Amino acid sequence: MDNADAPLTDLLQLAARGEPGALDQVFAVLYPELRQIAHARLRSQGGVAHLETTALVHESFLRLVNAQRLAVTGRKNFFTYAAKTMRNIIVDFAREQLADRRGGGQPALQITPTLAGTVRSGDGDATLIRINDALLELEKVDPLLTQVVEMKYFAGYTEVEIAELLGSSERTVRRHWEKARAFLLVSLQP
């Protein structure tokens, strides 16, 4: 089988089995889409200071690869995991910036408007960390709702794309998003 012509799912399975060169091909196939997702995510948040699209894509892919084992078996699994990975990277970076900023007077990270009705704060890094903490609590209650938030808020997917990746309807995704927003609204109140 010629790996260059293999569908993404086959490439991911080959990479999971440790097939030489398969991981490089997966990266080549997925790079444009990962870059687009990372760029949209960073742009919608006003650009996370000193974190660039390329760095986010590369760090995401490295974390995906360096996980114990590339356990994704298809496109859906990969992009779901990629959304979670991007969330972790952005939150880690926000924590790092917040730690560096104490007393430093650097400008605040702007939060994307998709949760604008939920959170109002002048310090974007601290808000981002609060959102992450609330998501950790939501994950205990309903992991699917957390997954929808990760895909929409941290990876920048549309409801149509999320529905396709999760194998559900757009209406179901919208309902999950509204439930998650309600949970976050309550969780993030002072």
**Predicted TM-score (pTM) of this structure:** 0.61
Average pLDDT over residues 104-120: 45
pLDDT of residue 90: 81
Q: How far apart are CA 68 and CA 156, in angstroms?
A: 26
Q: Can you give the residue range of the structural domain that contains 103?
A: 3-187
Say yes or no to pLDDT of 187 above 50: yes
Say yes or no to pLDDT of 145 above 60: yes
| % of residues, the chain, pLDDT over 90 | 17
Average pLDDT over residues 153-162: 86
Q: How far apart are CA 140 and CA 31, in angstroms?
A: 32
Say yes or no to pLDDT of 168 above 90: yes
Residues near 178 by beta carbon (within 8 Å), at least 6 away in sequence: none
Place of tokens 């002048």: 122
| Nearest partner of 78 among 35, 26, 41, judged by Cα | 26
Instruction: Give the count of beta carbons closer than 10 Å to the beta carbon of residue 119.
Output: 17
pLDDT of residue 122: 46
pLDDT of residue 177: 94
- pLDDT digits 0-9 by tens, 100-111: 555 444 444 443
With bands split at pLDDT 50, 70 and 90, how would you rate the model's confidence at 69? low
Average pLDDT over residues 73-101: 77
Q: Beta-strand (E) ranges in the chain? A: none
The angle at the Cα of 11, spanning 9 to 13, to the nearest 5 degrees, equals: 70
pLDDT of residue 120: 41
Say yes or no to pLDDT of 77 above 70: yes
With bands split at pLDDT 50, 70 and 90, how would you rate the model's confidence at 118? very low
Number of domains in the chain: 1
Q: How far apart are CA 4 and CA 30, in angstroms?
A: 13
Phi, psi of 71 (to 5 degrees): -90, 10
Residues 159 and 170: beta-carbon distance below 8 Å: yes
pLDDT of residue 59: 83
Q: How far apart are CA 45 and CA 73, in angstroms?
A: 31
Token digits for 18? 């440790």
Who has greater pLDDT, 33 or 118?
33
Say yes or no to pLDDT of 119 above 80: no
Who has greater pLDDT, 77 or 119?
77
SS3 161: helix
Instruction: Give the count of beta carbons closer than 10 Å to the beta carbon of residue 178.
Output: 12
Average pLDDT over residues 19-25: 82
